[in-house]
Every structure is written in structure tokens, then in C-alpha cells.
Amino acid sequence: MPALVIRDLYKNFGVIKAVDGISFDINEGEVFGLIGPNAAGKTTTLRLIATLLEPSTGSIEIFGLNILKDSAKIREMISYLPEEAGAYKNLKGIDYLNFMAGFYASNTKFKKEIVERAVEIAKLGERINDCIRNYSKGMVRKLLVARALMHNPKLVILDEPTSGLDVINSLEVRNLIIDYARTGTTVIVSSHNMLEIEFLSHKVAFIHQGKILESGAPAQLRKKYQAENLEQVFVNSIKK
């Protein structure tokens, strides 16, 4: 069963077509990259998948469940980390994780397990016991990624997970995502950084002005367009 099936999806805001008839599939266990410039429709698409917005028309199915009919069940199996997400700066990192675990855990034992998992994912060492206001931007992002993954969601949606980070912190966050994806979880990553997505993803889709221009494995797309990287593929796909 595919993890995600999108068919003829539209999302209109007045006269603006933010998502304009897109269709694509994601297989279970894949890391799928949604690539495009700012205002291309990436974040709107992710919010639709995360059940935060309703489609104007079209369909989304997640593990066979309909996004409109089964939204409550879907929310139990997914996790969404928006680009603008933040953490409570006056809390210690460990206290933030304990607080967030309370939304997922039905008992004390499970809560302890998912907090321990989040600490392991975040890889902050003893700094997990420091106040978040003393964290660097990279440390905060790693904490937030750990929060998104702590309860073992079946589908993880990450919007610009390395936005604003330097090279070293970006690499560390990307490695967190890759390590977690190896457990078999399906991951959707959105970014305007095409080289980053090429590093992360099994499959990619290019979105521009609300439309999907191309999709497939990075190597296949590079070969199709005789390109050295996905940036060249994107530019050439616009010219088609």
C-alpha cells in the first residue's frame, strides 16, 4: 500500500491557485523531496497533507485513509514540523520534550520511552538539560526534529527543516533525518535547497506556480535532462 496518494489536488485562496491540479504518490519507507522556489506551493501542499487545510478539489489518501473522512485517524499516525516552528525558550530541552510527550503518551511508561527516544534523536548530550534560550539555532532545530519523530509516526512531514542553519548544523539535521528514515518511516521533506533534497531523497517532485513539473528518482531526472544536479533539472523543466 502506498503511504500517500494525491490526485488532481487543487487549493484556491480566492482567485489564487496555490496548488493547481497536482498528483503524485509516495511509497512506504521513502524519503520524498518536494522542491521549488518560495511561493511555489510547497508549504500549502504540506499543510493539506497534514490536515491543516482542506482541498478545494481533489483527493489525498494516507495509508488508505481519506484526508476528509478520516482526518482524526490520520493525525494519530503523522507528524508535521513547519518551517516557522519554535520551542518554549524558558524551558529546559528535556522539560520541553516531557511537555510535548504528554500529547502523545497514554501512560507514564510510554511517555518515558518516547522522551528517551527524542533525547537520543536530538544528540544534544548534556545540553539537553540547558534552557532553550541558551541554545543555538541549530540546537533548537535538532530539538524540534526530535519532537517531530519522538512518537514513531508512520509519516513525517518536514517543511524546510534546515532553514537558516549554517553548513555544519544543516548537515547534522540532514543526518538525523536519514538515520530515522532507515527505520522504515516515510518522510516528506520540502525545501528550496535542491542540492540538500538530492542528498536526502529517494524520489523528488518539482513544484512551480502550484504545478508539478517533474517527478522521479534524482538519478533518473539527471539522466533525462542530461544535467549534473537537480538545480539544472529544475531550470530545464521550466523551459519545457
Q: 28-54 pLDDT, tens per residue?
A: 999 999 998 888 999 999 999 999 999
- For the segment 101-157, what is each residue's pLDDT rounded down to a tens digit? 999 888 999 999 999 999 999 999 999 999 999 999 999 999 999 999 999 999 999
Which residues sit opposite 211 in a β-bridge?
208
Q: What is the pLDDT of residue 182?
A: 87
| pLDDT at position 162 | 87
Q: Domain containing 57 — which CATH number?
A: 3.40.50.300
Total domain count for the chain? 1
Output 104-113 pairs: Cβ under 8 A, ≥24 positions apart: 104/150, 104/151, 105/151
Domain that holds residue 216: 4-239
* pLDDT exceeds 80 at position 1: no
Give the pairing type, strands 57-62 and 4-13.
antiparallel
pTM of the model: 0.91
Edge-to-edge strand list for the sheet holding 57-62: 16-26, 4-13, 57-62, 65-66
CA angle (206, 212, 214) in 5-degree steps: 55
Alpha-carbon span 3 to 125, nearest angstrom:
34
Backbone angles phi, psi at 188, to 5 degrees: -110, 125
> Which position has the grid cell 501542499?
45
